Amino acid sequence: MPVVRERRGRVLIARLDRAEKRNAMNGEMTRGLDAALGELDEDPELWVGVLTGTAGVFSAGSDLRDGEHNDTERGGPYGLIRRKRAKPLIAAVDGLAFGGGFEMVLACDLVVAARNASFALPEVKRGLLALYGGIFRAAHALPLNVARELVLTGDALSAERAERLGLVNALCEPGCALDEALKLAERICSNGPIGVRASLRVLNESIDAGDALAWQLSREGGEAVRRAEDTLEGVAAFFEKRTPRWKGR
């Protein structure tokens, strides 16, 4: 299975496990993650979730060759991006979290990162747009000009800088992100679950209430990008491993 589930007491671990494709999300992975998060939602014995990847890579985002079925009824893209969750979800990031991978991190509540982790929204390098909330969620999680830097350059943000800027809650050595995330999960589990969930709801829903316009603008921006000649050129250049030849139309 490309998404492996494991229970550690009251904590559910969901591991993205398609390392040969840098854990790029396709329909099968989306269904697996949606099912894992459904288990977290519905099982009263589970209080916290941890989302992680494999050694050296969290996720490279959508599989551009096989990413046409990445939407779910309950959670939207990847089964996670627009999911209404009652229980905390921690991202344990070892290695790169690019594109949709970073957008999954931004959809979580807390972030633990190894020092070899990096975060990026590289869509503009391919003439595309980050459609899964990354643009405005980056602006929630980071200083505005840093979010602009990520969105407009497509360049990566190191784990150390992300920790200094407040995106990352805990920084650790490579290979230790899951263990550190589990420690954080246990700290949460030591508290009253009803109070935790009520607090999380206040935090997340107050932010989500202001995001309706941002989602609308993302849809409109996505339509404009899809109609552009540069979009085909950017994707072709990515697969052909060459520099795109932009036309601005």
The catalytic residue positions are 103, 123
Tokens matching residue 26: 């396709």
How would you list the strands of the sheet with 3-8, edge to edge? Answer: 3-8, 11-16, 48-52, 89-93, 110-114, 170-172
Q: What is the DSSP letter of 62?
A: B
Sheet holding 96-98, edge to edge: 57-59, 96-98, 118-120, 157-158
Can you read off the two tokens belonging to residue 180?
A: 């550190």
Give the pairing type, strands 11-16 and 3-8: antiparallel
Q: What are phi and psi of 139, to 5 degrees?
A: -70, -25
Q: Which amino acid appears at position 144 of this protein?
A: L
Helix residue spans in 2-118 (DSSP H)? 27-42, 100-107
For residue 122, which amino acid is it? P
